[in-house]
Chain A
Amino acid sequence: MSATVTDQDVAIYALRLGDDALVLSHRLAEWAASAPEIEEDIALTNIGLDLLGQARNLLTLAGAREGEGRDEDALAFGRNEREFSNVQLVEQPRGDFAATIARQLLFSVYQLPLYAELTGSADEDLAAIAAKAVKEVRYHRDHAAGWLLRLGDGTEESSRRMQDALDRIWPFHHELFETDELLDRLVAAGVAADPQVLHRSWLDGVVPLVEQATLRVPEDGMRRPTGGRAGRHGEALGHMLAEMQWLHRSEPGARW
């Protein structure tokens, strides 16, 4: 590993990836007992469970590298929204089933090459977490792709709603591929995945699926929500964290 990368740098990177997984896992858990059919209740919460497991591994790593004694729980339940570094894509309210599928498609097709790249990371712990996670995300991608095809190439109503969902969530994908000074250094040291490489893989993955589903690939407009990595979020994240964190904060150390 290059000398220019510190434990602190890896901690910030692991926290970004972990926060993405944690916030999206909570959004998916909201579907428990609310999905269109029982198989989807099970599927969406299972995907959420995988993401929660990935988040636990990544947050644990972040806490260890940060070296301030914070464990996964301290990081998940003890931070305010401005301290969360997830992209805004994952915090958007779950919307209807089409909105959830659209987001799952954009996110899982991003996470697949992300973890695949990280299996070769110069950081052994990141590589180990990624090697485990990449197997899980293949199932997430196929789940989203399967529903995209069925809804996009389904009835007039399902196609209209799937297109609408895709159009709404599309602008949020840009933030996944942003870079900054920290990421540049981590990429140069072989620790992090290169956002440019990920963006190309993502387009190669998403575009054919959207076309196969007889949907239109949304055009990139001027609206590109950003700031999540620096802790700037929409209103929805605060509400979500209030629900997620209240028990831990009102009863610190509570156990079953």
Chain B
Amino acid sequence: MSTSTIERLVGAVPDPEIPVLTLADLGILRGVGEQGGRLVVQLTPTYSGCPAIDPIREEVRRVLDDAGYGEVEVKMVLAPAWTTDWITPAAREKLRAYGIAPPDPVTHGAGCGFMAAGPVRCPRCSSEDTRQISAFGSTPCQSQHACNACLEPFDRFKSI
């Protein structure tokens, strides 16, 4: 078996909550290896309580089973902790086109929520005249915003 083939297969699995992104786009695939004759895929969760992790685990097993790799172990690795900085530039563009404002680079110690610094650009009309409705959204990784220029509400991928 070739590691790059497996990485390509697993990397192409879509995120169940934001299906426009794949596991490779998100940067949560940490590696592929073998342990005691069994294939081991290492993933890292985005948030401690991300509910997408279980369906992702199932999907990775299914995809590799379909490709003939048999019983596969999917292991969760916490360190180093995932950051939105690992989302690829191409994936940021995909997010924007999908209507979700991509995350800013993570600046440590910066506030968020009511104390957010810097403008968030509307993914539809590109205006910087936007406001945050809530720092929490439909998934753990998103916040809710609205554009004062085009009046549309939109989600944003939070920087962590």
Contact = CB atoms under 8 A, between A and B. Distances in A.
B127 interface: no
Contacts of A49: 47, 49, 51, 140
A200 interface: no
Contacts of A169: none
Interface in A18-77: 39-40, 42-43, 46-47, 49-54, 56-57
Interface in B107-156: 111-115, 133-138, 140, 144
Given A39-B136, A132-B45, 15 more contacts: A39-B134, A42-B136, A42-B138, A49-B47, A49-B49, A52-B49, A57-B78, A129-B48, A129-B78, A132-B48, A135-B83, A139-B135, A139-B160, A143-B114, A143-B135
A231 to B, nearest CB: 25
A192 to B, nearest CB: 18
A39 B142 CA distance: 13
Contacts of B115: 142, 145-146
Interface in B75-92: 78-83
Contacts of A52: 49
B12 to A, nearest CB: 25
Nearest to A142: B113
B61 interface: no
Interface residues of B, number: 27
A143 B82 contact: no
A139 B47 contact: no
B50 interface: yes
Given A50-B140, A57-B78, A131-B78, A42 B134 contact: yes
A54 B49 contact: yes
A50 to B, nearest CB: 5
Contact size range, A: 20 to 34
Interface in A117-152: 124-125, 127-129, 131-133, 135-136, 138-139, 142-143, 145-146, 149
Interface of A: 39-40, 42-43, 46-47, 49-54, 56-57, 124-125, 127-129, 131-133, 135-136, 138-139, 142-143, 145-146, 149
A243 B48 CA distance: 24
15 contacts: A42-B134, A42-B137, A42-B144, A49-B51, A52-B49, A53-B49, A53-B50, A128-B81, A131-B78, A132-B45, A136-B47, A139-B113, A142-B113, A142-B115, A142-B135
Nearest to B82: A132
A218 to B, nearest CB: 23
Nearest to A125: B78
